[in-house]
Amino acid sequence: GAGVSQSPSNKVTEKGKDVELRCDPISGHTALYWYRQSLGQGLEFLIYFQGNSAPDKSGLPSDRFSAERTGGSVSTLTIQRTQQEDSAVYLCASSLGHIQYFGAGTRLSVL
């Protein structure tokens, strides 16, 4: 597709379950970013992939959060043993340079 695609658009899960969120970046973009946006808040940086370099994981809030990017394209953000405070919109962005293009996000609700 022409833009960044994220799936699912909405995810409801029970506390303690694991979830996987998917991001399909714009074709050819070498960088991919994950952010978390809580209700009415700004963008909280989580993790950044750039080409074949080791990812910048400095924003991951705990070891329950992990992400991978296979083949330099699709990325999956995994949250293990979800907690209610993990409820938020998870946004993915990709870029070729410094201008980031965002997907519509996945709204995660942990009950």
Partner 1 sequence: GQQLNQSPQSMFIQEGEDVSMNCTSSSIFNTWLWYKQEPGEGPVLLIALYKAGELTSNGRLTAQFGITRKDSFLNISASIPSDVGIYFCAGQPPSGGATNKLIFGTGTLLAVQP
Which residues here bind partner 1, judged by CB under 8 A? 4, 31, 33, 35, 40-43, 45, 48, 50, 56, 91, 93, 95, 97-105
Query: Closest approach of Cβ 104 to partner 1, in Å?
Result: 5
Strand pairing class (88-95; 19-24): unpaired
Query: Closest approach of Cβ 29 to partner 1, in Å?
Result: 10
| Cβ(21)–Cβ(67) below 8 Å | no
Sign of CA dihedral 32, 5, 11, 41: positive
Nearer to partner 1, 75 or 100 (CB): 100
